[in-house]
Amino acid sequence: MSKLAIFGGPKTISAPFEAYNSIGKEELEAAKVVLETGVLSKYLARWGPDFCGGKQVRAFEDEWSKYFNVSHSVVVNSNTSGLIAALGAIGIEPGDEVIVSPWTMSASATSILVWNAIPVFADIEDATFNLDPVSIISNITPYTRAIMVPDIFGHAADLDAIMDIASKYGLRVIEDNAQSPAALYRNQYVGTVADIGVFSLNYHKHIHTGEGGVCVTNDPILAERMQLIRNHAEGAVEEKGVTNLSNMIGFNFRLTEIQAAIGREQLKKLPALVAERQKAAERLTEGIRDLPGLRPPVIRPNCTHVYYAYPLIYDPAVSGVPKAKILAALQAEGVTAISGSYANVHLFPMFQQRMAYGTKGFPWSAEFYKGKVSYEKGICPMAEALQDEKYMGIEMCKYRYEDQDVDLLIAAFRKVWAHMSVLKSDD
C-alpha cells in the first residue's frame, strides 16, 4: 500500500464529493407559486383569523402532524425559537433548573437562559452520546422543573427511562430533535415521545427550509401556548380569553409562506433522504467494523439511526497512536468531513464565567435563584473524556455519499490503519 498522504504519498480521495442538496425543482415551483400570489406571510399579531399564519403555514403544520402522528404541530423560524417557545409553554419560571446534555448545539442550553432559568448539565452515555438517565437522577434538586433531551447525531436517547424519571419527580420533558428526523424509538418517531418535541429545518439537516423549525405535542394547551409565544402573545391573550399570562411575552418566531411551501415539498422527500444516509452509513460500517480500536455507531434494539452524523469511538490504547494524529492522517487522505470534537457546552466561556445578561452574573446571581450549580471541568466525565480522547465524527449531511464515495472513505480508513506502526513511530 502506498505511503500515507500525511508523509507525502498520494491522497486516497483526490477530489471533493458532491455536496448534499435536498432542494430541487419541486421546491422551486412551490416557491414560485407563493410568489405569484403576493402573499409571503399572513400573520397578524392580534387574535383573529390570521393569528396562526397563512395557507402554506397551516397546511405544512397539518402535513407534519400527519407524518409524525401527533395532534399538534407549530412551525417556527428556527429550532432555537422552538426550544424557547417550548420552555415558555411548559411554564418555566426564573430560577428553575433544567437538566440538559453538554453534548448538543449550544441553543439547547441557552434557550433555558432566555427564561432566566438555569441549565444544569448531566453526563452522557458512551453508546449513543445521549443523556445518561443515571446522571439525570444525580442532578435533580428541589429546583429542577424540566429535562431538555437532545436526540443527538440521529439516534434517540433512552426515552423510556427519561420519561419514567420525569413522571417520578414531576418534571416536564422537551426533546431537542434537531438531528433525528424520522428516527424511530420503539415504533414511535423520535421527537414525539416527550411533552414537546422540536425539529430543525436548518440548511445542513436532512431536510430544510433554509432556516426553520417545528414544535410537536399531543397536548392542546401546550400547542396553544406555543402558538401564542410564536406571535406576540401579549397582543392576543385578552381577545382570545387567555387567563394564564405566564410567559405570554412578545416574540416573532414566525415562518414565512415561502419557507412553509418549501417545507411541504421537503417533507415528502424525508423518507428517501433518510434512507440515503442510512445506506451510506451501513456501507461504511461494513467496511471499517474490523479495524482495531475503532467502534462504529451503536444502534439500540427497537431503534433506528438516521445519521445526521456518523459517530465513531477511537481507542488510542489499542494502537498507541493519539486521536489527533489519526485525524490528521485521515484528513490528509481527503476525509474532509471528519472532526475530533463536538461540544461540551458546559465548558463554553458563558458558563465558565457565568456571563449571560449584563456583567454581574445574571441570572445565576439573581435573588430568585436558590440553587447551586457547578460548571467545573469534571462534572461530565464521560462527555469530557470522549471529546478529549476518543470521539471522531463524520458529517453525513455535508455530501451526497454515493457508493463509490463511501468506498473511498473506507479505503482511506483502511490505509491509515495499515500504517499504524508508522504513525506510532513518527515523532
Cell of 25: 425543482
Q: Kindly give, in sequence order, each residue whose CB lies less than 8 Å from that of residue 360, ignoring residues fewer than 6 positions away.
A: none
- The pLDDT value recorded for residue 269 is 98
Give the CA angle between residues 33, 35, 39 to the nearest 5°.
Answer: 105
Domain 5-21+270-341+384-425, CATH class in plain words: alpha beta
User: Alpha-carbon distance 176 to 262, whole Å?
Assistant: 22
Q: Is 97 helix (H, G, I), strand (E, B) or coil?
A: strand
Return the C-alpha cell found at 244: 394564564
Q: What is the pLDDT of the chain when averaged over all its residues?
A: 97
CATH match for 25-267 among 3.40.190.10, 3.40.50.300, 3.30.450.20, 3.40.640.10: 3.40.640.10
Q: Hunting for cell 433548573 — which residue is that? A: 97
Alpha-carbon gap, residue 201 to 24, rounded angstroms: 16
Percent of the chain with pLDDT strictly greater than 70: 100
Q: What is the pLDDT of residue 250?
A: 82
Distance CA 15, CA 191 (A): 37
Residue 427 scores a pLDDT above 60 = no
- Give per-residue pLDDT as tens, 382-419: 999 999 899 999 999 999 999 999 999 999 999 999 99
Say what the pTM is: 0.97
The C-alpha R_g of the chain, in whole angstroms, comes to: 23
Contact between residue 87 and residue 111 where contact means Cβ atoms under 8 Å apart: yes
Please state, for a pLDDT cut of 90, what percent of the chain lies above it.
Answer: 97
Residue type, 180: S
Do residues 144 and 117 make contact, with C-beta atoms less than 8 angstroms apart?
Answer: no
Extents of the domains making up the chain: 5-21+270-341+384-425, 25-267
pLDDT tens column, 54-105: 999 999 999 999 999 999 999 999 999 999 999 999 999 999 999 999 999 9
* Predicted local confidence at residue 147, as pLDDT: 98
**DSSP assignment of 194-241, as one string?**
SSEEEEE--TTSSS--SS-EEEEES-HHHHHHHHHHHBTGGGTHHHHT
pLDDT of residue 1: 63
Contact call for residues 416 and 333 (beta carbons, < 8 A): yes
pLDDT at 425: 85
Inter-residue contact 248 to 231 (CB < 8 Å): no
Q: Are the beta carbons of 179 and 154 closer than 8 angstroms?
A: yes
End-to-end CA distance of the chain: 22
The 10s digit of each residue's pLDDT in 211-232 is: 999 999 999 999 999 999 999 9
234 — pLDDT class (breaks 50, 70, 90): very high
CA 11 – CA 163 distance, rounded (Å): 48
Strand partners, 253: none
Cell numbers describing residue 371: 440553587
- Residue-wise pLDDT tens digits, 250-277: 899 999 999 999 999 999 999 999 999 9
pLDDT band at 426 (very low <50, low <70, confident <90, very high): confident
